[in-house]
Amino acid sequence: MTAAIAFTDSCPTLLSSTVIAGWRRRLARDRNRERSHWRTKTAYYRAAAALLSDGTGRVPGWRDVVDAVLPQGSRTTFYEVAGEHARHPMVRELARDGSADSIQLALAYRRVDAVAQLIDETKVWSFWEYREELVRRLVAETPGPDEAGREVRAALLAWAADHPELAAALDHAPPACAVEDLVVLGGGRAMALRVARELAGLLHAR
């Protein structure tokens, strides 16, 4: 019982300490260089999300994304945000962490196509407000890890209901942070690839 209570109390802390949470926190913090790059990233995330919401089901090309960025996009800034030589990509942060779960998650989200990489990060950016609300609920309600996992899935479905086109993009790949959250809450019982497949199925079936 004591161990269960300790784990329950740590659920919000666990989610605040994930690799992706740390990646986002460092980029969004109030330092000029990182803050400027985060603003550039979010401009591209907004453009990608807007293009995917047009109802055609088509994945945009990089030129489409550049043209949709406000106030102005460019090939240079696009490839600073996405692609092999991007600055601070999420997947590189996962690989750099070096843990078995993070490496597996990095492999699951490794993309050859720069736009696909951008969409993966866009899903995390778009889902983040739902995740923040989830963490606030976990702080207030202190559920056990299994119930917290159900809350993650419920938050994911709420996000997908509000952003169906983005959720469906890339064969319903879930936001990587939701996968990582469930792996962490599982305490080593769940493999990242298996969780990613499960959540993709959940999004596809909703």
| Number of structural domains in the chain | 1
pLDDT, residue 187, reads: 86
What gap in Å lies between CA 29 and CA 124, rounded to an integer? 17
What three-state secondary structure class fits 173?
coil
Are 150 and 121 in contact, with CB atoms under 8 Å apart? no
Dihedral sign from CA coordinates of 13, 14, 15, 18: positive
pLDDT, residue 29, reads: 82
**What count of other Cβ atoms lies within 10 Å of the Cβ of residue 192?**
24
How far is CA 59 from each of CA 14, 66, 87, 146, rounded to the nearest angstrom?
34, 14, 23, 35
Residue 105: give the domain boundaries: 2-205
First to last CA, the chain: 36
pTM: 0.92
**What count of other Cβ atoms lies within 10 Å of the Cβ of residue 127?**
25
> Which residues lie closer than 8 Å to 154 by C-beta, 6 or more apart?
none
Q: What is the 3 state secondary structure string of 88-151?
A: CCHHHHHHHHCCHHHHHHHHHCCCCCHHHHHHHHHHHHHHHHHHHHHHHHHHHHCCCHHHHHHH
Cα maximum dimension of the chain: 57
Mean pLDDT by 10 residues, the chain (206 residues): 41 92 89 76 97 90 97 95 95 96 95 97 98 93 88 98 97 98 90 96 94
pLDDT, residue 34, reads: 55
pLDDT, residue 188, reads: 76
In single-letter form, the type of residue at position 100 comes to A
What gap in Å lies between CA 193 and CA 31, rounded to an integer? 34
What three-state secondary structure class fits 66?
helix
Are 152 and 138 in contact, with CB atoms under 8 Å apart? no
The token pair at 127 is 């889902």
Are 42 and 125 in contact, with CB atoms under 8 Å apart? yes
pLDDT, residue 206, reads: 83
